[in-house]
A and B are shown apart, each in its own frame.
Chain A
Amino acid sequence: MRGLLQILDAGCLRLDVRLVAIAWIAIVGLSGTVPCTAAGQAGSGARWEVREAHLVDPAGKTPGHSGVRDELGTVDPVSQPGQKAWTSLLDDDFESGFPGATWSVRADGTDAVWEDWTCWSTSGTHSVGCAVSGSAAITCGQDYPSGMQSWMTAGPFDLSDASYLDAVFEFYLNLNTEPNSGSEYRDYLFVGASIDGTNYNGFNYAGTLLQTLQLDLTAVPVEGNLLGEAQVWVALVFVSDASTNLAGGAQIDDAVLAVDQTVNQVPVVTVTDPVGGESLTIGSSYRISYTAVDPDAGPSSLGVSIDYSTNSGSIWTPIVSGQPNEGTYDWMVPDEATTTGRIRVRATDGADEGEGVSSSDFSIISNVEPTVTLLSPNGGESLAANATTTVTWTATDPDAAPRELQISLEYTTDDGANWFPIDSGLANTGSLAWTAPEVTTTQAKLRISAWDGSATAVDESDAVFSIALAYSDLTLGDASGPSGTTVTVALALDNVADVGGLQADLFFDGSKAFLTGFEAVGRASGMAAEARQTGENQARILLYYDSDDQLATGSGDVAELEFTLQGPGGGTTTLQLSDVVLSDAVGIALPVTLTDGELSVEQPQDAPVLQISVLKNPARPRTMQILVRVANGSGDAPTVTAGGANLSLTSLGQAVYRGEYSAADNAATVTIAASDTNIRGIGNAQITVALP
């Protein structure tokens, strides 16, 4: 027999019902238990039956059973990778001698035992018959003897492999026995399996039958599924009673015990770098690239091992093993020059290992170190902080290997005690625009490194150079004029970077002047200008853009401040800038130097001029605020009277003074008078206010 036949579930036993039962069969259970019956009919009068049965080997295990296992190859169809496949643990066509190492035979009763013969076969020339050997042996065409219990067993077979999905014992049967009579089975063939080599469970067959039979080892009567059992025996036992014997009895051919299992697929590995032709430099890091795929993704995740060879693969030296399947590995190329280098990548899925090898030879060569020279700044230069300067160098790598040069730059401000990175991984372009740090030092140097992937060349400035902060200059001009007049002071800016805005506080002697105007001019005329007196002696000015515009680097006047001078004259006041914030394009404060201005107040040209404003309280008009403004004044508070009484005054700045007055309930009017004196004379003002 070659080939497992498709079986259908026929209740308790799976039988190939495509085959035609050629004779009426009766099967009788020896154990007396008949739990299940299957029957079929082919043609008029043809009938067969099969029933579950239990048969105990009265002699126990026979010597031939223990430790015997056949490896008889596979059965058709040939399984494909990844597909369900049948593997035969027993495959005997009885053409090579019987019982051999596979079978054990024994007669328990009449001395007639199984043996091969050529009276009938379904393939080849031989089969085995139930009474071919022994003292009561028969020849072709003779009736089997009475009182037989002829055993033919094989095993044990190991069905504990977890990959087994199914198991079956199959053979071709030529049966010719006395039929059963009702529930009584007289002569029959028992087919069963055992997990102890003694107690067998299976089925009895009686009658005439010529077909393939299968014992499903996953559904053995009583035992059930035998998959997972480490020891399984199968038995064919021919039994006859005392009378009515027929020719041949039972003849068996092409017996197979097969298991169904899934075949593991071998991982597929391809080395993609190096593939051959490359030159790897000794001491450099080389990235090995590969692909490793396990088609059936198991039973375990892939583990990768990498080897190299310096003789085209004759001898392999391990690089690494047990790596995860990451597709790359950075290999430090060994000091073993060769022109026949190969890389091998092996990947195992826990069951099988696949491998890939560089498709041709690569070389391992010695590295030629690069050279680098820093050209500038190379010492003696004076650089401006926050300003851009160009760093230049030359760097070469004679063998241009193992990789293109990478340039790194650092600077020091303490002659090499500490180094700070500028940039790294740069291409070897020969120059770099560098913004010097915001420091002041005379001990600066640059250091350059050129790395070819294996070796590094270094150079630094031959001598120190200097870095100095770049300051913008903010300068207030001077102005002078007679007390009581208005003068203009220029605000100049020499900015070394673009400017977004300016804020500054301005301090001066408020008794001599007060700020009355502020305007952006010149190159800053597009800027908004705001100013306010924040105290008697101080003001704050703002210059800024309402847009994203910037005041470009340059110099010249950017604003004009207007002051009104006051006081007796003959004095000066410094215009002092303080808390200056000069912002660059992104709002960062720029360093700035300040130059103060000065106002000179000359003697007034006219006598003081006074202005009186009376602000009556709307809810109580007899109480009032009296504000007196003085031009060309003495610088001191004027003398103010209301209703004849002197008022106490408070300076509000800008030559304005405040006093309070409350008129009596019976007063119809109140007269307020104010006066001030300077070198030119006395100034007076008087006002009479009506009261409700």
Chain B
Amino acid sequence: MRRGSHSIRFLLAMAVTVVATVGGGCSSDDSTPTQPTGPSGASGYTERGWERYESGDFDGALSDFAAALDRDATYGEAYAGRGWTQLAQATSVSAMQAAGNSFVSAESNGESGAYVQVGRAAASLGSAGTMLATAVTQARAALETDPGFVFEHRTSITAIDVRLIEAFAQAAQGNFDAALIAADQVSDSGIDASQSATWQVGDEVYASYVGAVLAHLHALSQQYSG
């Protein structure tokens, strides 16, 4: 991930802009006002795209990531930024699939790291169908890359969410044993398939093991997802 000091660089750019504006104001009262200097390359547009993503300006972020890719179609980080922005705006399976494609492009252009894998896992979970297995694979890969994952541009997304992605993707495939194992990494349910007395979530006792697992996943979703 090519990021790091872009926030500091942004502050410096703002300071330069302020100095330039102040300086311009002092030099001549009738001169044309100086315009702020914008990003000049893929890196610059990508940095500003992340800033806009962090501020919730997803349309602006998408525009910057697109501008970055206009200047350098091989700039992998811009694809990743576009993917995370698409993910934040998705309201359909097709939108999730588009986000997933952006993360695939990021990887194919050399961008790597847990944040790309997490993004791809989340997009795959939203794409359902055959992409559920990919969601499991990418979530596990992300946790192997960075067990203490925290998404830099949205710190509310952590390793807990990655485990939930895996658990939900397993459940969505009917793999309830595997789903429970992943979910218990977030919060131990105490559910044991061979002991019906453990088929309890909160105060409610379930007549089946699968019912208890689904209730546990639902509770985790309400607690951690959004």
Q: Which A residues fall within an 8 A CB radius of B?
A: 516-517, 532-533, 564, 611-625, 627, 629, 631, 652-656, 658, 660, 662-665, 689-692
Across chains A and B, which 10 residue pairs bring their CB atoms closest together, nearest first? Answer: A621-B226, A652-B174, A619-B122, A618-B161, A616-B225, A613-B218, A692-B226, A613-B214, A615-B168, A662-B91
Q: Contact check: which of A620, A631, A656 meets B126 at CB < 8 Å? A: A620
- If A612-B218, A617-B125, A620-B96 are given as contacts, then 11 extra A-B residue pairs at C-beta distance below 8 Å, sorted by A number, are A533-B174, A615-B164, A616-B226, A618-B164, A619-B87, A623-B96, A627-B217, A629-B214, A656-B174, A658-B174, A662-B92
Collect the chain A residues with CB atoms within 8 Å of residue B150's CB.
none
Residue pair B168, A617 in contact (C-beta under 8 Å): yes
Question: With A and B bound together, what is the CA distance between A286 and B206 in angstroms?
Answer: 88
Chain B residues with Cβ under 8 A from A663's Cβ? 91
| Contact B225 A623, beta carbon cutoff 8 Å | no
Given known A629-B214, A652-B174, A660-B128, contact A615–B221 (CB-CB < 8 A):
yes
B210 cross-chain contacts in A, Cβ below 8 A: 516, 629, 654-656
Complex A-B: 9 CB contacts under 8 Å? A611-B214, A617-B225, A618-B160, A619-B87, A629-B211, A629-B214, A654-B210, A656-B210, A662-B95
Among candidates A614, A620, A623, residue contacting B218 with C-beta atoms closer than 8 Å = A614
- Judge whether B53 is part of the interface by a CB distance below 8 angstroms: no
Q: What is the bound-complex CA distance between A689 and B122, given in angstroms?
A: 20
Q: Mark B86-100 against chain A: 1 for CB-CB distance below 8 A, else 0.
A: 011111110110000
Nearest A-chain residue to B129, judged by Cβ: A650
| Residues from chain A with Cβ under 8 Å of B88 in the complex | 620
B122 engages A618 (CB within 8 Å): yes
CB distance from A537 to the nearest CB of B (A): 13
A residues less than 8 Å from B119 (CB atoms): 619
Q: Looking across the interface, which residue of chain A has its beta carbon closest to that of B88?
A: A620
- Check B133 for interface membership: any CB of A closer than 8 A: no
A533 to B174 Cα, complex, angstroms? 10
Tell me whether B172 and A623 are in contact (CB under 8 A): no
Q: How many residues of B contact A (CB 8 A)?
A: 45
A261 to chain B, nearest CB (A): 90
Q: Which of A620, A655, A658, A665 has the most CB of B within 10 A?
A: A620
B222 within 8 A of A: yes
Assuming the contacts A619-B119, A652-B174, asked whether A691 and B91 have C-beta atoms less than 8 A apart, the reply is no
Asked if A615 meets B172 with Cβ closer than 8 Å, knowing A516-B209, A620-B96, A621-B225, the reply is yes
Distance A564 CA – B211 CA, assembled complex (angstroms): 13
Q: Is the CB of A631 within 8 A of B91?
A: no
B221, A656: Cβ atoms closer than 8 Å: no
A516 to B92, CA, bound (A): 34
A661 to B160, CA, bound (A): 22
Least CB distance, A520 to chain B, in whole angstroms: 12
Contact A631 B207 (CB under 8 A): yes
Nearest-Cβ distance from residue A533 to partner chain B, whole angstroms: 8
What residue of chain A has the Cβ atom nearest to residue B157's Cβ? A619
